[in-house]
């Protein structure tokens, strides 16, 4: 197995388990996203210090960031699918855009957007 694939697989596995724990324990979004950020920063430091793994660690960091964000977004969509339709009469692509903004903001700043 290619070392890049192995590193990505391990980190995705860690992120998946973290996400599972978030759902099981009903963690606050800020707490969950800050934990994701800690994992991704540690992975980024490892990749930056081990150039033999990848010539372009930024692409791996971006792939892992999007993976973590999509786990979170997909869980919201699953919640949305189980909720009564009347709760989400105005939801749609704008809702997904806001959710992405919301996640990105918490990731960058550690707090909810105002």
| Contacts of 30-37 spanning 24+ positions with Cβ under 8 A | 30/106, 30/110, 30/111, 30/112, 32/72, 33/72, 33/103, 33/106, 33/107, 34/106, 34/110, 36/68, 36/72, 36/107, 37/107, 37/110
pLDDT at 88: 45
What's residue 29's pLDDT? 94
Query: What was the pLDDT predicted at 51?
Result: 87
pLDDT digits (tens, 9 = 90+) for 44-103: 999 999 988 888 899 999 999 999 999 999 998 775 554 445 444 445 567 889 999 999
79 vs 41 pLDDT, higher one: 41
């Amino acid at each position: 197995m290619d070392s890049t694939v192995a590193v990505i697989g391990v980190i995705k596995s860690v992120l998946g388990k973290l996400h599972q724990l978030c759902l099981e324990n009903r963690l606050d979004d800020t707490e969950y996203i800050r934990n994701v950020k800690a994992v991704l920063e540690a992975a980024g430091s490892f990749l930056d210090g081990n150039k033999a793994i990848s010539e372009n660690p930024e692409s791996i960091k971006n792939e892992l960031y999007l993976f973590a964000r999509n786990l979170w977004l997909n869980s919201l969509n699953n919640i949305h699918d189980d909720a009564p339709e009347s709760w989400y009469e105005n939801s749609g692509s704008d809702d997904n855009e806001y959710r992405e903004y919301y996640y990105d903001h918490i990731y960058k700043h550690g707090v909810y957007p105002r």
